[in-house]
Amino acid sequence: MRQPLSLVSWHHMPVTIAPSYRSSSEIVYRGCGIRELALLVLVLGSSMISANAALSELCWREISNINNEGPYIGVVVPNAFELNPLLHSPSFVPHNKFPFFDFAGKHFRIGVLEKKRVIVVMSGLGMLNAGLATQLLLTLFNVEGVLHHGIAGNANPKLQIGDVTIPQYWAHTGLWHWQRLGEVNGDFNTSFGNLKFANFNNDSNHFNSVTNLLNKVWYQPEEIFPVNGTPEVSHDIFWVPVDKTYFKIARNLKNVKLSSCVNKTCLPRKPIVVRVEKGVTANVFVDNKAYREFLNSKFDATPVDMESVAVALVCLQQNKPFIAIRSLSDLAGGGSALSNEVDVFASLASQNAVEVLIRFISLLK
Ligand X SMILES: *[C@@H]1O[C@H](CO)[C@@H](O)[C@H](O)[C@H]1NC(C)=O
What are the residues binding ligand X (CB under 6 A)?
A: 189, 191, 202, 204, 221, 236-238, 262-263, 344
Least CB distance from residue 67 to ligand X, whole Å?
A: 35
Nearest Cα neighbor of 120 from 151, 85, 152 is 85
Helix (H) or strand (E) holding 267: none
Residue closer to ligand X, measured from CB, 129 or 351: 351
CB of 87 to ligand X, least distance (A): 19
Min. distance of Cβ 169 from ligand X in angstroms? 12
Contact 15, 84 (CB under 8 A): yes
The sheet with strand 192-196 has its strands ordered as: 176-179, 216-219, 192-196
| Residue number with CB closer to ligand X (13 or 363) | 13
> Does residue 148 contact residue 289 with C-beta atoms inside 8 Å?
no
Name which of 46 and 339 has its Cβ closer to ligand X.
Answer: 339
Q: Which of 252, 243, 78, 282 is nearest to 146 (CA)?
A: 243
Compare residues 177 and 275 and give the one whose CB is closer to ligand X.
177
Q: Report strand pairing: 273-281 vs 164-172.
A: parallel
52 versus 288: smaller Cβ distance to ligand X: 288
> Rounded to the nearest whole angstrom, what is the least distance from the CB of residue 348 to ligand X in the complex?
8
HSE-CB of 347 using CA atoms within 13 angstroms: 8
Smallest separation (angstroms) from ligand X to the CB of 325:
22
114 or 341: CB nearest ligand X: 341
Least separation in angstroms between residue 220's CB and ligand X is: 8
> Using CB atoms, what's the residue nearest to ligand X?
236
DSSP labels, 206-256: STTTS--TT-EEEEPPEEE--TTS-TT--EEESSEEPPHHHHHHGGGGTT-
Helix (H) or strand (E) holding 54: helix 48-54
In our burial notation (b when 16+ CB lie closer than 10 A, e otherwise), range 133-163 reads: bbbbbbebbbbebbbbbbbbbbbbeebbbbb
Q: Give the nearest distance from C-beta 303 to ligand X in angstroms.
A: 21
Report how far Cα 235 is from the mean position of its chain's Cα atoms.
Answer: 22
31 vs 221 by CB, closer to ligand X = 221
